[in-house]
Amino acid sequence: MARIIDGKKIAAETREDIKRRAAEFTAETGVVPGLAVIIVGENPASKVYVRNKHKACLEAGFRSDVIEMSEDTTNDELLAKIEELKADDGIHGILVQLPLPRHLDEKAVLEAIPPEKDVDAFHVVNTGKIMLGDYDFLPCTPAGVMKMLEYEKIDVTGRECVVVGRSNIVGKPMAMLLLHANGTVTVCHSKTRDLGEVTRRADILVVAIGKADFITGDMVKEGAVVIDVGMNRREDGKLTGDVDFASVEPKASAITPVPGGVGPMTITMLLENTLTAAKKKTK
C-alpha cells in the first residue's frame, strides 16, 4: 500500500506560510503583493483556473486583478495591456492564461512580460536561468512537485528519476529541477521506444503527458514514488490523472492522487512567485 501524498494538505500549509510572510512583508514595507491575470476568450477550463487563482490571491492577502479580454482581441491590444501592467508599480506579477485563441502570437505575448514580473517563469530569460540553476522564479507545476517531495522528505540525490513528457511548462523544467537536486534523470516522450522498460527503472516517476490512466502498474517498479501531473476530464466529467491509480498504487511506496495531488500545489507556487517578485522589486 502506498502512502498517499496529500497535495491539498501540503498546499494549505504552504499557503498559510505564504500568507504569514506576505503579512510581515506588508507590515514592514506597506507594499501589498499584486498579481494581474489576463484571460482572453471564453475557454471554460481557463475561467475556472483564473477564478481559483483570484480566490487564492485574495485569501493570501494579495491584490488580484483579473483582466478579461474578448475572444477577438488583437495581438496589439493584448501587448498594450501588458505594457500598461508593466508600468503599474502595484502589480508585481503578470500572468497570461494559456492557451490563447489561435490567432494570437503566444511567443510574442510571453516575451512581452518583463522577466521580473514573469511569475509563470515562461519568459526565455527565466527559462535560461532555470537551465543554469540560478533562478528567481520556477514554473509553478514543477516547483510544486519539488515542494511536495521536500515536504514528504523524499530525497532525490542519486536516485533514478524518470519524467514522462517534455513540454516547456512541465516536463523539461521538471527534469532540470530533478537534475539540480542531484537525481539521475531520464526524459521520455511520444517517440520513446519501449516506454515501460524506461519507467520501470524509476525510483521517482513523474508523469505529465495528458492521457488518462496511461501509466499502468506493469510500467512501475515496486516501491517507486509516483507523481501524477496529468489532469484529464473523463466523459462523465470526473477529473483523472495520467496514472492508472488502481493498478499503480499497490506497487508504489508513495503516490499523488488526482484530484488533490499536484493540482493544488500549482497555484500555491504562483503565490510564492508573486511574493518573491514583490520582495525583489521592493528591496
Q: Please confirm, yes or no, whether 153 is among the known catalytic residues.
A: no
Indicate which residue of 120, 203, 228, 242 is catalytic. 120
Q: Which is nearer to ligand NAP, 39 or 262 (CB)?
A: 262
- How many Cα atoms sit within 13 Å of 234 on the Cβ side? 12
Q: Are strands 93-96 and 34-40 parallel, antiparallel or unpaired?
A: parallel
Q: How far is the CB of 266 from ligand NAP (least distance, A)?
A: 3
Q: For residue 283, what are the contacts with CB-CB under 8 A and spacing of at least 6?
A: none
Q: How far is the CB of 275 from ligand NAP (least distance, A)?
A: 19
Q: How far is the CB of 210 from ligand NAP (least distance, A)?
A: 3
Instruction: Check binding of 126 to ligand NAP (CB under 6 A).
Output: no
Per-residue x/- marks for ligand NAP, 234-263, CB under 6 A? ----------------------------xx
Q: How far is the CB of 18 from ligand NAP (least distance, A)?
A: 17
Instruction: Check binding of 110 to ligand NAP (CB under 6 A).
Output: no
Instruction: Check binding of 208 to ligand NAP (CB under 6 A).
Output: yes
Element (H, E) at 108: helix 106-112
Give the residue, chosen from 75, 192, 216, 282, that forms a contact with ligand NAP under the rule CB under 6 A. 192
Q: Please confirm, yes or no, whether 53 is among the known catalytic residues.
A: yes
Q: Please confirm, yes or no, whether 97 is among the known catalytic residues.
A: yes
Q: How far is the CB of 144 from ligand NAP (least distance, A)?
A: 7
Instruction: Check binding of 125 to ligand NAP (CB under 6 A).
Output: no
CA-to-CA distance for 239 and 228, rounded, in angstroms? 12
Tell me the torsion sign for CA atoms 222, 10, 93, 132. Answer: negative
From its phi and psi, is residue 88 left (phi > 0), alpha (psi between -120 and 50) or beta? beta
Near ligand NAP in 261-280, by CB under 6 A: 262-263, 266
Choose among 113, 111, 101: nearest CA to 37: 113
Indicate which residue of 81, 97, 203, 242 is catalytic. 97
Instruction: Check binding of 232 to ligand NAP (CB under 6 A).
Output: yes
Instruction: Check binding of 10 to ligand NAP (CB under 6 A).
Output: no
CB-based contact 137:121 (threshold 8 Å): yes
Q: Which three cell numbers stand for residue 216?
A: 499502468
Choose among 189, 143, 183, 144: nearest CA to 166: 189
Q: For residue 126, what are the contacts with CB-CB under 8 A and spacing of at least 6?
A: 115, 118, 135, 136, 137
CA-to-CA distance for 128 and 121, rounded, in angstroms? 10
Q: How far is the CB of 135 from ligand NAP (least distance, A)?
A: 19
Instruction: Check binding of 231 to ligand NAP (CB under 6 A).
Output: yes
- Name the residue number minimizing CB distance to ligand NAP: 167
Strands, DSSP E only, in 89-130? Answer: 93-96
What are residue 204's phi and psi, to 5 degrees?
A: -125, 120
Catalytically active residues are 53, 97, 120
Residues making contact with ligand NAP (CB under 6 A): 141, 164-167, 169-171, 188-192, 195, 208-211, 229-232, 262-263, 266
